[in-house]
Structure 1
């Protein structure tokens, strides 16, 4: 197993009586793509800002390669905030060069790196335009370039795929995989759970400031069992609600997704479905990250510490 590169260790943060983070602990390993997911207000952005040193934790520690994060360490972190963090009236190239120089690159190095990322991210025709005149999707590309232009050792990205069209998503995905392949730990938050599931090595789920799950999707769903998908065109709504050992996960039109308790006979479910008329689909489906996230968010919440 690869040693942790970025460690969030028992980090807590309060705002008066509001618990923003409650002993949040996880790590992002070298060369790993780590998806950080949760509902709005769950604590994702607060965690990332503490990792960057923008916010101070009330307790706990953030470490990189086993050592506490320092100002010097932070100069080697690439950060992409969810809100636009660019100078709107600066031209794209000028902005990237300026940010690279702030991180210690020489003027020549800064220009070379800026031009490289402008080309990689499909911004060549926009390089002399003001950021404020770009589409939101292109602003997002510039934001990513700003996080990468100084060749960071860690990438921390808050909703990097927000507002991107499918082609831009593919470009962003390729870039993140490429950076991870060089040993850079990459953590990003996203509400696009299908993308997180497809892209990430591991996933952390945060709820109300507490980590409720962390691991690969396969690990997190290993004990959860599979789901049963049944399509019965003539069945009345809620036909499966009274079946013993069966929980309705979702129901849309004629298709219902069911979770069966251990030991429940799926053939009894099939018989009940056939009693309503023809059955056009009866299949097992592996639980997805979306299923896992829904369970984690809807689970009973424990009292704060």
Structure 2
């Protein structure tokens, strides 16, 4: 998933879109299908047991999960923007700021009744202080995505170009099948088995694994050098199996998503073990 922290909130936002029969605000919300103009504002809170970004994760001893807050604005004609703020539960042990990461996004999404949905977005990523998060070397993300609604499944593809202290290109492909179950009079329960595959470069992850050493120089005295592990130029990053379960009740939604991540082609020194993690969230839409 290119936008990892947004990705954890997507099931929550999806539920709110289902409740209002609205067009989805982000590419991964596309299972909601086409519909009328979206709500203007969505406030969401997300918590997860692990922190993942582009199918990479910090070492377990440095990662106890996070609490994320997202505010998303959607204009009826297609403009979309959002602000994300992240709090890591392990911030005191790692001596990180209370808010250690954020994303500010602006873009455009397709609107109207169509089986094809697309978005183009620019995201500014920013990290505060020292952080164990793997994406701290990334600053700018230019992305585009397209999703097609089929009768039995929803397929999407996205491309992200990252620019910052490191430069990366990442492609992501998703395939899911939604099940919609009515609950009470106007509520909806959504269950959507999803498989995600990622491929691209991972200089950002190599930068997070860099080791530093001090070397004596005749001209400049003691010099600090940073050494990064070798990393493939372009390769498969891994795949994720997930089962988002979302209950939409009016303008509120509650979601839980168990996921299993299998990383591939991890640079030396990185965390290459497969693991389960759980994401839960709550959102409220405003018109």
TM-score normalised by structure 1 residue count: 0.23
Find the structure with the greater CA-based Rg: 1
TM-score normalised by structure 2 residue count: 0.24
Q: Which has the higher helix share?
A: 1
